[in-house]
Amino acid sequence: MSETHPHTMRLQRFLARAGVASRRGSEAIMTAGRVTVNGQVASELGTKIDTERDVVEVDGKRVVWGDTPVYLMLNKPAGFITTMSDPQGRPCVAKLVPTDRYPGLFPVGRLDFDTTGLLLFTTDGDLAQALLHPSRHVTKRYVALVDGRVSDDELEPLRSGMILDDGPCKPAPARVLTPRAARAVWNTAVPRGASVVEVELSEGRKNQVKRMLGRVHHPVLRLHRPAFGPLELGDLERGVWRLLTDGEIARLRAAAAVSEPHDSKEG
């Protein structure tokens, strides 16, 4: 197959241009053995394809040239891990979103097994990478039900920037909420001897909210994320997904300082 053939393209570039993932993410998908060309696994990064003749599939779903990126939000229920597959057979969020309709869909960041709330999915790897990069300061808002009665002063270490085992945390706005907040999130009253706390993060370290509140001696009993950047769950029911509106996508791009996809993907 000639390098100068007008329809010849490196496979990872094709996947990125089709909105499956970023170039680097597409390479990872290939090396994991998830991509086939004409029914054969294509894990070599130098693989070239004919975009008009070859059939490319990711996880068994065909990728069509010219597909536009997809963006959706899921109100994640507890009891699912944030991964698209699990060798141990645990329930995955992939079961809750339309991967058959949108090949290459993947979650942006993660929520713990027992954490509920807004989980963003996309096929736009460049935007996903930007949204998670600490330099973009895209905030995620959490509501936590914690053990013990919390005073505002006890949250000052979070607001000042505490140090955890894996290093210092950026200052995180935090406040005590009224018991009504718990009913709005979990449809239940605040148990005796518990409190509701809101925390905003601009970084995404593992179990960060739980570790921060544990450090001030108020272990998290339940955790929910109602907002990611400019996105709000609103009245989206638990376990349900919906596509983002054009306005929401534009606000996400503005928050991450990312231009329209595929405007400079040549080469």
* Length of the chain counted residue by residue: 267
Gap between the Cα atoms of 126 and 216, Å rounded = 36
Cα dihedral 64, 68, 73, 76, rounded to 10, equals: 20
Nearest to 254 by CA among 243, 262, 265, 246: 246
Instruction: Give me the DSSP letters along 102-139.
Output: STT-EESS---TT-EEEEEEES-HHHHHHHH-GGG---
- CATH 3.30.70.1560 domain range(s) in the chain: 139-228
pLDDT tens digits, one per residue of 99-147: 888 877 889 999 999 999 999 999 888 888 899 888 888 999 999 999 9
Gap between the Cα atoms of 36 and 44, Å rounded = 11
Q: Give catalytic residues, as residue numbers.
A: 112
What's the mean pLDDT when you consider all of the chain?
88
Q: Please report, rounded to a whole number, the percentage of residues in the chain having pLDDT higher than 90.
A: 64
* 67 pLDDT tier (thresholds 50, 70, 90): low
Mean pLDDT of 4-25: 74
Is 165:59 a contact under the CB 8 Å cutoff?
no
* 66 pLDDT tier (thresholds 50, 70, 90): low
Q: 8-62: what CATH class?
A: alpha beta
Pairing relation of β-strands 71-76 and 116-122?
antiparallel
- CATH 3.30.70.580 domain range(s) in the chain: 71-133+231-256
**pLDDT score of 136:** 86
Identify the bridge partners of residue 4 per DSSP, sorted by sequence position. none
- CATH 3.10.290.10 domain range(s) in the chain: 8-62
* 266 pLDDT tier (thresholds 50, 70, 90): very low
Instruction: Name the phi and psi angles at 155, rounded to 5.
Output: -90, -5
Is 77:37 a contact under the CB 8 Å cutoff?
no
pLDDT tens digits, one per residue of 186-238: 998 999 999 999 999 998 888 999 999 999 999 999 999 999 999 999 999 99
Helices 23-31 and 125-132: angle between axes, nearest 10 degrees: 110
- The CATH number, out of the four listed (3.30.70.580, 3.30.70.360, 3.40.1410.10, 3.40.50.1820), of the domain defined by the range 71-133+231-256: 3.30.70.580
Gap between the Cα atoms of 243 and 122, Å rounded = 10
Pairing relation of β-strands 106-107 and 116-122?
antiparallel
Residue 118 neighbours by CB distance under 10 Å: 22
Gap between the Cα atoms of 249 and 242, Å rounded = 13
**Region for 27 from its dihedrals, namely left if φ exceeds 0, alpha if ψ lies in -120 to 50, beta otherwise:** alpha
pLDDT tens digits, one per residue of 19-35: 677 777 888 899 999 99
Gap between the Cα atoms of 125 and 249, Å rounded = 14
The domain covering 139-228 belongs, at the CATH homologous superfamily level, to Alpha-L RNA-binding motif (3.30.70.1560)
Pairing relation of β-strands 163-164 and 167-168?
antiparallel
Element (H, E) at 55: none
Runs of H (alpha helix) within the chain: 11-17, 23-31, 125-132, 156-160, 179-186, 208-215, 246-256
Instruction: Kindly give, in sequence order, each residue whose CB lies less than 8 Å from that of residue 156, ignoring residues fewer than 6 positions away.
Output: none
Nearest to 258 by CA among 126, 142, 61: 126
